Chains A and B, each alone.
Chain A
Amino acid sequence: MEPKEAPPPPPPQSPSSTEEEGMLSVTAAMARDAAVLFQSRRYADCAEVLAQLLLKKEGDPKVLHNMAIAESFLDGCPDPKKLLEILGNVKRRSEELACASRQQTDSANGTGNSVSSGSRGSGIIPLISAANNATTYGDEFDTTIITFNTAVILYHLHDYESALSILDPLYRNIEPIDETTALHVCFLLLDITLALQDASNAADIIQYLERSFGVVSATNQNENANTAQQQSAQPKPSAKISTPPDSDSNTCAGGSENLSAGNFSDDTLEFESFYSTLDGGNQNLGRPILNDFSRASADLAATAADLKVRLQIYKVRLLLLTRNLKVAKRELKVLMNMARGRDSSTELLLKSQLEYARGNYRKAVKLLSTPNNRSEQAMLAMFYNNLGCILHQQRSIQTSVWCFSKALKYSLSLRSEKPCKLTAISQDKSCLISYNCGIQHLMCGKPLLAARCFREAMPLLCNRSLFWLRFAECSLLALEKGILTSSGATSCNDEIEVDVMGSGKWRHLVINPVKPSHSSESGEEVSLDKYGNLISLRFARQCLLNAQILLDPSTKENLVIASGTEESNQTSLQGQKGSGQKNTTNTDSKPPGPALTNANGEQKGISNLNVTLQSSLALYDDICRKENLKIKQAILGDLAFIELCLQNHLKALSIAKLLQQLPECSRMYVFLSHVYAAEALCALNRPKEAAEQLTVYLRDGDDIELPYSIENCEKALVEKDSDGEDSVAPVVTKLSSGESQYSESLKPEEAQGVLYIDLGMTAAVQGELEQANYMVSRGVALLPNNPRAVLASVYVDLLQGKAQEAIAKLRRCRTVRFRRHSVAVSS
């Protein structure tokens, strides 16, 4: 760790008792020993020293905090929940002590005797101004570090939302915090916001770091000077923490900072690049390996360089997230130059991800296939996961499934040891890989396996709207494949069954438009056993409602983010002022010429980066808005379909109307909404309103226009490919043939035929037989092999009393199967 910046000269001490002085010296020395042991990674010894220290300062929150941290490092933090509880308790005790200390300070201001009494009781240095400053400084520092550590643990547990909610207030009040801790807060916050794909917040943090980076450099230079002086004064310094030994609270605060923030967040994390979800593009999860950072105290020049490299890595990741590939490529080149001569596995992974985003899969694979990526379980899991994503983009679904199963196997091996350590949880990407597996199985037409994969991915992705949409699609796919049956879903039959009963002149034909089968409950029991509740229409409905709820706050959160941006801008302004002041101070000690040049260069760089980031954010916001619109359409379309299957026609009707009112709704979904609304209205015995829903496509002369064109279909396909997303395919309409959901959607002419058939049936219900006959004939002409069209035509013929023509049509249809029964027809 970096040695702390030299504190101000210690204030002059007042006379105090020898006993008190001895006590402070002993505890300070023990705290210093504990800090040294921790930095040397001798956690067991560190814990012992802290235990002894605790005996002398019973209940001290700082010692308790450091003890918990040391013990968690000792055995890899097997119980993160317990550690979180300890941190919570320590924070509360710190706050209580802060209040008590302030009261004592107020008393100390009153009388000299009170000062003396207070110092003996709480160990606070018996100087009015010194005591006050020490209390404020220590408490602020202490709470900051505890909060940071809590966020780190939550980050490791993949609970990014909670970590963000805890860390964000810290970031918004970042000025009073020590610079080293502030850097850690910013870097952790960057990891969290990138994991959440929160591009605007990540950009704000990067800009803040850019502005304060000069400060960091200047500070490092100062520290370098201090270190040189110390080395000249003491050839072998015994301690790296240059703190006056008699400042006990300062020592503990410094020790806490070293024990918790730096080592914990740096050493236990490794960089991994995952194309973790196939939806919404790529994202990086995990944190970069920066072991050099922990040795920065030995090489301050390397410290500055590493900070630059790290910041550059975050920039590239942000640009990849916002899909600003041109600028990402440029910045990645800068990064490669910075990292020359060092371990460049991180840079190679980022480059592989860049090529993946650009569609250069062959190049991406070559970059991916470096020996480093096959050296350990976590890297192998990442490697196969990324390979699976690439093969998915090349439409090799089976091979992709194989890769994801390999990735899942390697990732699960991290869980083999028990109890599961925090680092293992952090590196465990099983939930994400399981989600990718689920997507592949959906595309293979295996809804049961897909649902089980999504079930395992739920802990991590339960706050994603798209995840719940996928989960619901498992049930829809099962319905389409006949695994799941619904008494109301007559559209799922691909065959018409005609029973022949009686013989001779008593022969009758009985048409069964609904295939005889068991109810959905027994169907589930037969084929789904204990995972039955993952595949059902009611569960699909719940999934879609979850998706809808999670999607709607996104719009509200945009407003929140906007206000957050404003606040962040204010913070940036303050930071800029502080930066200016410090720069002025530094200029005094340097030749004015080079300083001015440097300042100008930095200013230009910052301005340029701001413009780039702003444009990236605007582009990314547009991409997100379009994606959310697609998801919303799919959610409403699927939800209307499911309500029709469940025969909840009022609900289906209201949802279909919602879909129609959606701004910028695609023409395909508008078509589906009209068809669904018409069907619901027919079921509610409102055929005239049903006809009105369909006649929006009626032109003069009873000709129906195409509800959408080939370009609409092709446009959707192109968008899918360019976005690298899974298809959000339109749901099969109940009155159309049961096409596979993941094959081509209905062709425009087929949609036109569906409209003709529906209008014809509506007219038939209203008794307009001539109109019905005309419409149905046009529909059959467009859909000659569609069983529903044939049934509609037969129905109209029967209404008109043309039984022989109806039978002839049934015979000509390839999907009709005649079955002979020996049962006599009753009544």
Chain B
Amino acid sequence: MIPFNSAVAEDVRSLVQGVDDSTFDSTHRELCQLADCSPDGCSLLLQVCLDEVLLNADVAKSSRLKPELLSTVFKYCLDKPYFSTSFCEALKTVHVSDMFLVKLSNELNLSAGERVGVGLALSDSGNLGLITKGQKFSIAEIEEICANPAHVLTNDQIHDIVVFLHQTDGLSKHMDSFTNIISLLNVKEMPFYVPAPIKEGNARPTISSRHMELYTGSLDDDFDSLLSEIGKEISMADIITELGYGCTSDIAHCKEILSLFEPLDDMGISKLLGAVVCTHVGLGEAHNTYSTFMSAVGNSQPSDSSQFTAWNIDVLVDSINEIAPRTNWITVVENLDHEGFCIPDEAAFCLLMSIYSRACKDPFPLHAVCGSLWKNTEGQLSFLKHAVAAPTDTFTFKHCSRKMVSLSYARQSGLVLPGPSRGFMPTC
């Protein structure tokens, strides 16, 4: 990372010193962009702020808008997640006295929470003196907050304070005070949680009250919407491939499993076909899951599923037709354009054709695979690749309505094509 050169610092300094009503907004935007681009930009900006606030505060020519600009820009930097890194870098060239942080905070009109943030930012400095000064400053500000709970703190600030009090030894007294006033602070966002120390005595009602608020705060609507989302994400196809070939051992078992996912829609069936086709080999290890699931959920005793080494397509199609007799197999084929669909090899292609021929007597809907470009282009290509190579008894383009047009086109162009009995890719 290449640090900014001194020319940039001078530019920033002149911008700050020369700010007026007409240039305030544009200057503010530019400086914020500088803080956004990297921790180094933020560090440079903080250095200029420190110089202007502490060293050049009494220069007569300074603009009356400069303090406001510096305050706004500093607070913007304070919100950056890398503020502590940038601030420690900026302080390397500054002599930090005991009153440095107090003076800085006063000049910039920082709020109580922001002051604690500044103090905590020094905790990662390699300089032990800085760390100590930062801690003292933070503790003083926390005491001020405990004494006067009217301060407005953000959730992040509250969380940072609690973490600091937890991780620093000897601050249990402050921990008690701060814990007591947390309920007085206005906490809006959810989820919000600050780990509170568990102990007996006065803390008991606080703990109970907070626990019940958390518990009753979980509205049923949240759980219901969560259940709905989970239901959408559950995939029948994935579950059946997890259970393995035992699912199609016989029609009774297959129907029993499919009925768990009723109603079966064409999209679900389409995804199931895609999953079945992709896994025609290799699921031998799944019989444990199948026997576990069926012995728990099924009504009949499962047979030894380790003997099944392939899907039983007849059982599968017959079971689907019995459970969902109004299945539109044309739509099922059209829905093969879904994420994850792929024909890995010729055997998978033959399997898919067998499924379709048993399920539906109509010719294969060529428009579904040839009529448009799929979203899953790889899946479509994998299908077509095996379709053109398949023998005519497996797949054919004979019933394609555009065949004659292609032949006419071929004849006009003078190309010699194979005989009409051979299937070929039409020019679409």
Contact = CB atoms under 8 A, between A and B. Distances in A.
On whether the two chains bind one another, the answer is: yes
Interface of A: 80-81, 84, 88, 154, 157-159, 161-162, 165-166, 168-169, 361-362, 365-366, 368-369, 383, 387, 390-391, 394, 396-399, 401-402, 405, 408-409, 412, 415, 425, 430-431, 434, 437, 441, 446, 449, 452-453, 455-456, 458-460, 462-463, 533-534, 537-538, 541-542, 545-546, 549-550, 552-553, 646-651, 653-654, 682-685
Contacts of A368: 296
Contacts of B289: 391, 394, 396, 399
B81 A647 contact: yes
A117 B428 CA distance: 112
26 contacts: A158-B215, A159-B208, A159-B212, A161-B198, A165-B200, A165-B207, A362-B291, A365-B295, A396-B293, A398-B238, A399-B293, A402-B260, A405-B227, A405-B234, A449-B230, A453-B226, A458-B218, A459-B211, A462-B195, A533-B190, A549-B163, A549-B167, A647-B81, A648-B84, A651-B124, A654-B124
Contacts, number: 188
B204 A458 contact: no
Given A396-B289, A459-B217, A651-B85, A365 B229 contact: no
B292 A649 contact: no
B419 interface: no
Contact of B243 (A369, A399, A462): A399
Interface in B203-236: 204-205, 207-208, 211-212, 214-215, 217-218, 220, 222-224, 226-227, 229-231, 233-235
B288 to A, nearest CB: 6
A81 B211 CA distance: 11
Contact of A390 (B81, B195, B243, B292): B292
B199 A685 contact: no
A456 B226 contact: yes
Given A84-B208, A159-B207, A683 B214 contact: no
Interface in B240-272: 242-243, 260
A429 to B, nearest CB: 12
B193 to A, nearest CB: 5
B38 interface: yes
A567 to B, nearest CB: 14
Interface string B83-126: 11100110000000000000000000000000000000000110
A162 B204 contact: yes
B297 interface: yes
B226 A434 contact: yes
A402 B124 contact: no
Contacts of A459: 211, 214-215, 217-218
Contacts of B156: 538, 542
Nearest to B285: A395
B189 interface: yes
Given A412-B220, A647-B38, A650-B85, A154 B208 contact: yes
Contacts of B415: none
B163 A545 contact: yes
A537 B230 contact: no
Contacts of B371: none
B340 interface: no
A552 B167 CA distance: 9
Interface string B154-175: 0010010011001100000000
A655 B211 CA distance: 32
A365 B163 contact: no
Interface of B: 1, 3, 38-39, 81-85, 88-89, 124-125, 156, 159, 162-163, 166-167, 189-191, 193-195, 197-200, 204-205, 207-208, 211-212, 214-215, 217-218, 220, 222-224, 226-227, 229-231, 233-235, 238-239, 242-243, 260, 286, 288-289, 291-293, 295-297
**Most A Cβ at <10 Å: residue of B197, B234, B293:** B293
B296 A369 contact: yes
A462 B239 contact: no
A550 B197 CA distance: 9
A398 B295 contact: no
B88 A165 contact: no
Contacts of B227: 405, 408-409, 412
B191 A401 contact: no
Nearest to B292: A365
A84 B238 CA distance: 48
**Most A Cβ at <10 Å: residue of B38, B88, B195:** B195
Contacts of B295: 362, 365-366, 369
B233 A394 contact: no
A648 B85 contact: yes
A601 B171 CA distance: 53
A81 to B, nearest CB: 6
Given A154-B208, A546-B195, A651-B124, A361 B292 contact: yes
A394 B285 CA distance: 11
Contacts of B220: 412, 415
Contact of A157 (B211, B235, B239): B211
Nearest to B83: A648
A537 to B, nearest CB: 7
Contacts of B191: 455, 458, 533-534
B1 A685 contact: yes
